């Protein structure tokens, strides 16, 4: 059986060694998930994301903008008007779609 050594680490390294400061919780930054959102409305549109507070801007219909995935559901729910043209059953014209 091996005999335990009575020499401590402080006697080997020296007394002036500071103790290690080890954090209990390690935080990692997750990369923000982005999605392309296309404007379907022929106008200059500006919206502020409800979740992130970021400003998104489309200059004309067909423009695509990278939007945080957290703000996408709010943008896809945006509609203009009460009914679509030509007897459409949907209520309002959809302003955005995923690209």
Report the pLDDT value the prediction gives residue 25, as an integer from 0 to 100: 72
The mean of the pLDDT values for the chain is 81
The pLDDT tens digits of the residues spanning 75-86 come to 999 988 776 566
The residues, any chain, with a CB within 8 Å of residue 61's CB and separated by 6 or more, are: 39, 40, 41, 42, 43
Q: Where are the domains of the chain?
A: 33-98
* Single pTM value for the model: 0.61
The residues, any chain, with a CB within 8 Å of residue 79's CB and separated by 6 or more, are: 91, 92, 93, 94, 95
């Amino acid at each position: 059986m091996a005999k335990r050594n009575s020499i401590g680490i402080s006697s080997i390294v020296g007394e002036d060694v500071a103790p290690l400061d080890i954090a209990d919780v390690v935080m990692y930054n997750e990369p923000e998930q982005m999605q392309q959102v296309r404007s379907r409305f022929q106008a200059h549109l500006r919206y502020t994301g409800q979740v992130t507070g970021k400003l998104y801007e489309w200059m004309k219909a067909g423009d695509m903008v990278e939007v945080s995935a957290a703000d996408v559901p709010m943008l896809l729910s945006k509609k203009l008007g009460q009914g679509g043209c030509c007897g459409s059953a949907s209520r309002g014209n959809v302003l955005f779609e995923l690209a």
